[in-house]
């Protein structure tokens, strides 16, 4: 027997329909690529997105066609998103931090028909236009007054002109909720990037989960600043979840430095924001240097990489801002876990709660997790046993776009995240490393992430990274790389003394190397692949001694 409820397909166009109907006058504020602060509303964005849908149809876009965006967080970018998805086409977000060859590969693999782009990225598109074999049109997210910048791309179209030329009379939806809605590619740290193809249903369910009080807890009263880019795993879903509740959106455009982010936080009365740790490091540095305050900000979500304890303590202790650590990946839409305290943890003293807030947290409804060994056998959730983290759920990838990578689920339907983690008795998961980054020393595993998060708390450290270096006796030993803050000098012993007592003695790095730069990848994470390449000729001082003794 089936239920007797209405069949209301879960398609994301309904999210913006809802925002227009019930929160139509709520603002979307953008620091535009052209410079000025621009204000619009959900009602205006809804109308303009429908006009752009008709423009896309006029350019030959059909359901299932891929339409790419290479753009910053702006209201125009949101309009492009809903214009694409509303007519059953697939919105493919491109990460401008990738190398041009990677971008070209991704565009051609996805067979993108059109690219929406900001002025910032016109030079790279002009240089590589001939390689983008599937692309028929490039639409510049600007007005006619700024189209001179697109002169190097023959036939480039102006976004604002297309909006004006087309009617807002356009029917959205009307297709199956399992229709593809969005496409994001993995960062491609090994091999070619792989596409993750989201459905309308998966995005809609992910939106409902993020609104949970134990997750992002967004409300109509909130003012939301998504610093996390729309090209990074769908801005963690905020471009769906904010309009779903009618929250005011503040879009930062291309300026993500500490001063620019602080200006928007204060001038627009932001209450909630989300970003990777490097952004918050820049903001906190700016606040310390200028004596700045955070007068309205109440909550931040930090993900993308492990959050250092120093950030959590600074936000809460100096500014009264609650920090929630989150984990996810492109393959999980991206939300996987969030470190919101449960009743038992909330009852603990504040100092004891810190160690749980530094974990990646517990699974919300819709996510299942398990740990396994390399053979696939389940491991206990005792908080100490390391294992491969595997997940499943209605917004977790089933297979990659075009079948790349073959079968990616185990016999129980779980996806291997590539992370090594522990899960404790409270259900709190903690990433200890990527499987390819964990340091294997004497048959035991050492977490590079844990050492990094402690080392970056040293008052002289700007950023820190840990990799494994070959050792004749122990297989691998940890090496700590440190980029110091401007004007600082330090010794190896200073950092070893700082770590003493905070980690197991046998985890202590065998060397500390001071470097001018620690590279970050396309999603803001430390690029250990590049670090290992740079350090390929490095020899541990302890390895030399071990050889001498042998």
Mean pLDDT within 386-406: 96
Segment 34-44 mean pLDDT: 98
Take residue 365 and report the two structure tokens written for it. Answer: 């409804």
344-368 pLDDT, tens digit per residue, is 999 999 999 999 999 999 999 999 9
pLDDT at residue 517 tops 60: yes
Whether residue 402 lies inside any domain: the answer is: no
- The tally of domains found in the chain comes to 1
Mean pLDDT computed over 454-469: 93
What's the CA gap between 225 and 277, in Å, rounded?
15
Yes or no: say if 166 and 52 are a contact pair by the CB < 8 Å rule. Answer: yes
Q: What is the pLDDT of residues 4-28, one digit of tens each?
A: 999 999 999 999 999 999 999 999 9
The pLDDT, as a whole number, for residue 543 is: 74
CA distances in angstroms from 30 to 46, 55, 363, 545, listed in the order given: 16, 23, 33, 58
Any domain includes 447: yes
| Model pLDDT, residue 544 | 64
Q: Are 331 and 184 in contact (CB under 8 A)?
A: no
CATH number of the domain encompassing residue 459: 3.30.300.30
550 pLDDT higher than 80 = no
Look at residue 305 in the predicted model and tell me its pLDDT. Answer: 79
Q: What is the pLDDT of residue 445?
A: 75
What is the model's pLDDT at position 439?
87
Which one from 331, 450, 452, 476 is the annotated catalytic residue?
331
CA-to-CA separations, 207 to 203, 243, 272, 319, 335, in angstroms, rounded = 6, 10, 16, 29, 10
Q: Which residue has the higher pLDDT, 550 or 511?
A: 511
Q: What is the domain extent for residue 544?
A: 437-549
542 located within any domain: yes
Q: What are phi and psi of 461, to 5 degrees?
A: -90, 130
111 falls within a domain: no
The catalytic position among 117, 179, 186, 330 is 186
Does residue 519 fall inside a structural domain?
yes
- Provide DSSP, 431-443: EEEETTT-EEETT
pLDDT value of residue 104? 96
Which residue among 385, 445, 545, 547 is the active-site one?
445
User: Whole-angstrom Cα distance, residue 27 to residue 23?
Assistant: 9
> From the candidates 440, 485, 545, 547, which is the catalytic residue?
440
Average pLDDT over residues 202-212: 98
Residue 273 falls within a domain, yes or no?
A: no
Tell me if 524 is assigned to some domain.
Answer: yes
- pLDDT value at residue 435: 78
State yes or no: pLDDT of 289 exceeds 80.
Answer: yes
Give whichever of 179-193, 237-251, 497-511, 531-545 has the largest mean pLDDT. Answer: 237-251
Mean pLDDT of 526-536: 89
Is 508 a member of any domain? Answer: yes
**Is 440 an active-site residue?**
yes
* Averaged pLDDT of the chain: 94
Task: Judge whether 445 counts as a catalytic residue.
Answer: yes
pLDDT value at 506 more than 90? no
**What is the pairing mode between strands 415-423 and 429-434?**
antiparallel
The pLDDT value recorded for residue 433 is 80
Query: pLDDT at position 32, please?
Result: 98
- Asked if residues 219 and 426 have their Cβ atoms less than 8 Å apart, the reply is no
pLDDT at 444: 72
Q: Is 315 helix (H, G, I), strand (E, B) or coil?
A: helix
Task: Judge whether 280 counts as a catalytic residue.
Answer: no
Given pLDDT bands bounded at 50, 70 and 90, which one contains residue 520? Answer: confident
Average pLDDT on 69-95 reads 98
Higher-confidence residue: 11 or 443?
11
Q: What percent of the chain has pLDDT over 70?
A: 98
Residue 412 annotated to the active site: no
pTM of the model: 0.86
Cis amide bond preceding 420, omega within 30: no
168/164 Cα distance (integer angstroms): 10
The helix (run of H) or strand (run of E) holding residue 300 is strand 299-302
Task: Report residue 188's pLDDT band, with 50, 70 and 90 as the boundaries.
Answer: low
């Amino acid at each position: 027997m089936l239920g007797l409820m209405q069949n209301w397909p879960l398609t994301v166009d309904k999210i913006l329909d809802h925002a227009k109907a019930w929160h139509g006058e709520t603002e979307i504020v953008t620091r535009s690529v052209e410079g000025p602060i621009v204000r619009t509303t959900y009602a205006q964005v809804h109308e303009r997105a429908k006009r752009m849908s008709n423009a896309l149809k006029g350019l030959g876009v059909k359901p299932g066609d891929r339409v790419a965006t290479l753009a910053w967080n702006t209201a125009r970018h949101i309009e492009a998103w809903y214009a694409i998805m509303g007519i059953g086409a697939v919105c493919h977000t491109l990460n401008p931090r990738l190398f041009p060859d990677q971008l070209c590969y991704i565009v051609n693999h996805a067979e993108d028909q059109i690219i929406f782009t900001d002025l910032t990225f016109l030079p790279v598109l002009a240089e590589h236009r001939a390689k983008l074999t599937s692309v028929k049109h490039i639409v510049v997210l600007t007005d006619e007054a700024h189209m001179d910048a697109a002169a190097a791309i023959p036939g480039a179209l102006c976004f604002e002109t297309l909006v004006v030329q087309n009617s807002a009379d356009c029917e959205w939806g009307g297709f199956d909720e399992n229709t593809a809605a969005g496409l994001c590619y993995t960062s491609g740290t090994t091999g070619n990037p792989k596409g993750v193809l989201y459905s309308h249903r998966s995005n809609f369910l992910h939106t409902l989960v993020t609104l949970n009080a134990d997750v992002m807890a967004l409300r109509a009263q909130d003012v939301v600043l998504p610093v996390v880019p729309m090209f990074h795993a769908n801005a963690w879903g905020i471009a769906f979840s904010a309009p779903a509740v009618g929250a005011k959106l503040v879009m930062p455009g291309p300026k993500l430095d500490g001063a620019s982010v602080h200006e928007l936080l204060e001038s627009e009365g932001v209450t909630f924001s989300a970003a990777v740790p490097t952004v918050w490091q820049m903001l906190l540095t700016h606040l310390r240097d200028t004596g700045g305050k955070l007068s309205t900000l109440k909550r931040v979500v930090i993900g993308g990489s492990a959050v250092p304890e120093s950030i959590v303590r600074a936000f809460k202790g100096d500014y009264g801002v609650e920090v929630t650590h989150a984990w996810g990946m492109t393959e999980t839409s991206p939300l996987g876990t969030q470190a919101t305290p449960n009743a038992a943890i909330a009852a603990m003293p504040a100092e004891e709660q810190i160690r749980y807030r530094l974990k990646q947290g517990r699974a919300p409804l819709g996510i299942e997790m398990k740990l396994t060994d390399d053979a696939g056998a389940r491991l206990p959730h005792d908080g100490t046993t390391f294992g491969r983290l595997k997940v499943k759920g209605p917004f977790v990838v089933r297979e990659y776009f075009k079948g790349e990578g073959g079968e990616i689920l185990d016999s129980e339907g779980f996806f291997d995240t590539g992370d090594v983690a522990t899960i404790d008795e409270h259900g709190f998961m903690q990433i200890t490393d990527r499987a390819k980054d964990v340091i294997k020393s004497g048959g035991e595993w050492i977490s590079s992430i844990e050492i990094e998060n402690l080392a970056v708390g040293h008052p002289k450290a700007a950023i820190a990274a840990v990799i494994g270096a070959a050792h004749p006796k122990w297989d691998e030993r940890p090496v700590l790389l440190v980029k110091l803050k401007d004007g600082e000098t330090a010794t190896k012993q200073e950092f070893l003394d700082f770590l003493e007592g905070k980690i197991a003695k046998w985890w202590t790095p065998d060397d500390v190397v001071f470097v001018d730069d620690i590279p970050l990848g396309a999603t803001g994470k430390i690029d250990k692949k590049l670090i290992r390449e740079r350090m390929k000729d490095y020899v541990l001082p302890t390895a030399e001694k071990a050889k001498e003794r042998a």
